[in-house]
Amino acid sequence: MSDELDELVSKEVRRKMARNMAKLAKKSSTKIKKERSAKKIASPEKIKSKAHKKAKNFFVNKLTGGKAWSTLSDQEKMAIEKKLAKKKAVIDDRIKVKAKRAAD
């Protein structure tokens, strides 16, 4: 029962965050900040987070068979998230290998 409540709260929080971000995306000040940050050289932390996101998306596409994430049901998304949690070490290794190749 408590797991279900935690899950519901997290969904509500995610939806609230999505609404707030949608409002922010429409503001001109946010658009200007985004343009400025795109012109700057990315920090190592930012590069690492982008690499993690790309690796995660690679495995998500593999697991979904190329279906769009937005078209999946909540149950399918949760199942994929559980599988990805198990593959976290594989994802990290993949990023390390790619980074090593890029450095050479």
pLDDT in tens, 52-64: 888 888 888 888 8
Over residues 71-85, the pLDDT tens digits come to: 888 888 888 888 888
3 state SS for 36-62:
HHHHCCCCHHHHHHHHHHHHHHHHHHH
C-alpha 80/C-alpha 95 separation (Å) is 19
Please say if the pLDDT value at position 3 is more than 60: no
C-alpha 75/C-alpha 20 separation (Å) is 25
Q: Is the pTM of this model over 0.85?
A: no
